[in-house]
A and B are shown apart, each in its own frame.
Chain A
């Protein structure tokens, strides 16, 4: 018994397993970079790198938004709709009501969090599947946005927003730094807080978590609220990049939002998240997008590529999670 001197064998092997996964992902990203740079050296230009870092920041936050609900074993198909609702709300407040931008952004974040909260509460009180609930609410939120705004963009936003979108630290956008800071906060949440650990236990075995005194419903609601908040953050970041509040924001988030965490080793069945992995997964998406853009291949190739990458990564997820899943399925049966 080694309880009094917590041996490192187990932990090390877990670490090395996780890091070998991440290493593989990093290697794939490096290979793509090598290919793209040799085809079009332009991709490594200072401006291109800046543009990539900016969209990477958004991809990361979009990935986090899904990751936090995957942790509970759930999902959130409404992040695009929540994102665009937050954006249009902020645009309306600033352009039509002249609300100062910090206040408007704060209000938009609150709207995002409230939408996620509503998802979570609906899931917990009805006991319905997160898939169905968020599929419905995605349509509901988006419809409500179209009705209230008539789909008209807000283009007269305060200039400081677009300035933030254009801001450069060397060849890096502060948006990437913001995304990484959120990553650090999430790492602390999931590794070093009771709440985060409870969310993971609920994802790994809801029944056991409940019988251990974990407030399961609260954990699920918190995860969805957080997901909504992060979707709003990603939306507002996109708004800053475009310099306008446009109803098309968030339409193309669904695939990347799953791709980043799943590529990075977050289990679809819940109970385990990888923040570093989600960042690397987003990096792969941003790389593919930039490569296809600078190679001037038609944009729809990106869809095909991303779909392909998601399929491959899900196959990998099955292979990785397969052992545990089979084991627990047997136990439940």
Chain B
């Protein structure tokens, strides 16, 4: 099956998402679609899957013009997709989710044995050990991603569109996925692969299309003929930058935040650390080590059951998130920006200003748009939030720009301690640099930053020292001398030690 779009355009209020883009997916080829966040990749995928209708341009299947009235039309035409957003039913089991589109029936009832057998087959194909009888809501983000992929595979479609399928899965799982993609390619399927990790993209794809600001910069070039530097140049419009941050050496006597033998309701024990003013303290650990849970406890969302938490040397009593934010000036940038970092249906202005409404209201409790903008507009400019207008709903921004907003609200709040949880997951090169610069910037201004990240280069670029967590306890600390190889080795040795 051959799927192509020619010269498609799509605009949203205030932003042109696609401006005359073309893409041609040939059978037996894996076609990479790359570009920064907001370049229009996801919009293009959504047009190919019938979720958006293009404003102009042509869509063809096997060179015959096609029109999708809905996503169902696209599925019926043999187009399977894994979107960036989760499309699973949380309370259904893994098996039910995978088989949902075509449930096996027996005597008019769902044949559950067949459901799970079928699901097992596709999960085994990606070499995953997920139990098909688990409810999807109990899975981790990475596991959900795998279920999505298995589901797309199960549809047995002629065209497979994968929008950042590897964003949250491990290397092992990704390798298994690539193996399958090669096999599907050999079977003559047309595959589109949207990705951020260029090495990955270049290693498995046959052709590459680069989008920038809704336009095609590189159109279906054979991967063999382009190199990484060229792709990056076309993506960002200039050479790749290597992060180098101006950092002030943290100096103070009292830590901005200090934990003494802290224990939490989630099971942390004996947590001891000092976080200085102006310092970026890294917190590294494998998935499930309890880093996010610790951050939640520090911001008052999980109960602290033992030990002491001190802010500026003063012990903090039990409290809720509002106290942590407004009294102790602690902000938490969630890893789940869509679920709990942002109010997607509300404007950029409202999302940036939510933390300061109480402070900027006048004596009558009235809140003026102008006083919100006075605080918020410079922050949006400083973080380079790309939006047509500050009145735009956050849901319409790209992932990187959304992340800038979820950090920006804490700049507005002028927090003393900022807990940042996986700030650049699913974010493109340029937005990542802007976010790193913002984090280094707040630290320069004297904010104490606790940085949770699974991205070691990011950790080494930003952190002053790195705490390592395993099984809800801190097991050591590594001084950061900006030597990625040495720091990674020391951290891994700590984690592997027993």
Chain B 71-101 interface mask (CB, 8 Å, partner A; 1/0): 0000000000000011111100000000000
For residue B342, CB closer than 8 A to chain A, the reply is yes
Query: Looking at the complex, which of B181-189, B234-242, B249-257, B381-389 is the stretch in contact with chain A?
Result: B381-389
The complex places the Cα of A200 from the Cα of B353 at a distance, in Å, of: 14
The listed residue (A6, A201, A205, A211) touching B373 by CB distance below 8 A is A6
**A246 vs B52: C-alpha distance when bound (angstroms):** 55
Interface contact B391-A14, CB-CB below 8 Å: yes
Q: Which of B306-349 contact A (CB under 8 A)?
A: 320-322, 324-326, 332, 334, 338-347, 349
Chain B contacts with A in 163-182, Cβ cutoff 8 A: none
CB-CB under 8 A for A333 and B377, given A10-B392, A271-B345, A328-B344:
no
> Are A201 and B354 within 8 A (Cβ)?
yes
Size of B's binding interface in residues, CB under 8 A? 62
A194 CB within 8 Å of chain B: yes
Q: Does B447 contact A (CB under 8 A)?
A: no
Known: A3-B381, A193-B361, A333-B86. A212 touches B395 (CB 8 A): no
Across the interface, B381 reaches (CB within 8 A) one of A4, A7, A210, A331, namely: A4
Beta-carbon contacts of B279-305 to A below 8 Å, as 1s and 0s? 000000000000000000001010000
Task: For chain A, residues 4 to 21, give those with C-beta under 8 angstroms from any C-beta of chain B.
Answer: 4, 6-11, 13-14
Q: Are B86 and A193 in contact (CB under 8 A)?
A: no
Task: Give the interface size bracket for A toward B.
Answer: 35 or more
> Does the CB pair B386–A1 fall under 8 Å?
yes
Contact assessment for A194 and B367 in the assembled complex, using a CB-CB cutoff below 8 Å: yes
Find chain B residues with CB under 8 A from A9 CB: 13-14, 388-389
Instruction: Give Cα distance in the complex from A4 to B413, angstroms.
Output: 19
Q: How far is the CB of A269 from chain B (nearest CB, A)?
A: 9
Q: Is B122 close to A, CB under 8 A? A: no
Mask: chain B, 350-363; 1 = CB below 8 Å from A; 0 = not:
10001101100100
- A204 touches which of B346, B355, B358, B376 (Cβ 8 Å): B346
In the bound complex, what is the Cα–Cα distance between A3 and B226 (angstroms)? 37
Q: Which residues of B contact A194 (CB under 8 A)?
A: 357-358, 361, 365, 367
Asked if A214 and B354 sit within 8 Å, CB to CB, the answer is yes
Q: Is the CB of A10 within 8 A of B13?
A: yes
Chain A to chain B contacts (Cβ below 8 Å), 25 pairs? A1-B380, A6-B349, A7-B388, A8-B389, A10-B390, A10-B391, A10-B392, A13-B13, A13-B14, A192-B368, A194-B358, A200-B346, A205-B345, A207-B339, A210-B321, A211-B301, A211-B340, A213-B324, A213-B413, A214-B322, A271-B346, A324-B345, A328-B338, A331-B338, A332-B90
Which A residues lie at the B interface, using CB under 8 A?
1-4, 6-11, 13-14, 188, 192-195, 197-198, 200-201, 204-205, 207-215, 271-272, 324, 327-328, 330-333
